[in-house]
């Protein structure tokens, strides 16, 4: 698979029915190894290893209902009271991060109202902090530590 702008780690990959699968420690299962999944697994590992995110307070493929339609957030990060604090959207490395990608994660946030939105295609990573009082957001220079994401204001 493609090298990413994320730390390498020891992946668990197997083949099932002629297709490659990668182990997802959050779902505790092997899933289809797509370019987007390659990004997800590396990004989750980065968050846990480099930003001290507890894996037990993260979930992949979180179902939400938006305007009566079922959608799935790629990853949701929770605080210790299990309140959602961040939504993470992944794209394949070949997919450019555009306004449409930000619109997608913003729509998901209408349901969850988290404080942080994070987008990565494995090569570029963006994080913004929501400010609901001013109806605005601020792009951050780097992905914050978990304690920053989980703290109450």
Query: Is residue 153 scored above 80 in pLDDT?
Result: no
In a domain, 8, yes or no: no
Residue 66: the pLDDT is 84
Residue 46: give its domain's CATH number: 3.90.1570.30
- DSSP assignments along 97-149, one per residue: --HHHHHHHHHHHHHH--SEEEEE-SS-EEEEEEETTTTEEEE-SSPPPHHHH
Burial, 122: exposed, middle or buried (Cβ in 10 Å; 0-12, 13-18, 19+)? buried
The answer to the question of residue 130 being in a domain is yes
Is 1 part of any domain?
no
Give how many domains the chain has, as a whole number.
Answer: 1
pLDDT tens digits, 83-133 = 999 999 999 999 999 999 999 999 999 999 999 999 999 999 999 999 999
Q: What is the pLDDT of residue 26?
A: 96
Residue 58 in any domain: the answer is: yes
Provide the token pair at 152.
């109450």
User: What predicted TM-score, i.e. pTM, was given to this entire model?
Assistant: 0.94
Range of the domain at 121: 13-150
Could you tell me if 59 and 85 are in contact, meaning their C-beta atoms sit under 8 angstroms apart?
no
Q: Give domain status of residue 5, yes or no.
A: no
Q: Both ends of the chain: CA-CA distance in Å?
A: 40
């Amino acid at each position: 698979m493609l090298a990413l702008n994320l730390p390498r780690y020891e992946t668990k990959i197997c083949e099932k029915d002629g297709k490659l699968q990668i182990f997802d420690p959050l779902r505790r299962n092997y899933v289809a190894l797509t370019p987007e999944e390659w990004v997800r697994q590396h990004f989750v590992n980065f968050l846990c290893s480099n930003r001290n995110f507890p894996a037990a307070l993260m979930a992949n493929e979180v179902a939400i209902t938006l305007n009566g339609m079922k959608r799935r957030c790629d990853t949701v990060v929770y605080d210790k009271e299990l309140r959602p604090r961040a939504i993470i959207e992944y794209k394949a490395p070949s997919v450019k991060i555009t306004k449409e990608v930000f619109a997608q994660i913003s729509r998901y946030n209408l349901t969850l109202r988290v404080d942080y939105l994070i987008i990565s295609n494995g090569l570029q990573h963006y994080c913004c902090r929501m400010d609901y009082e001013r109806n605005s957001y601020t792009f951050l220079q780097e992905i914050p530590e978990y304690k920053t994401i989980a703290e109450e204001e």
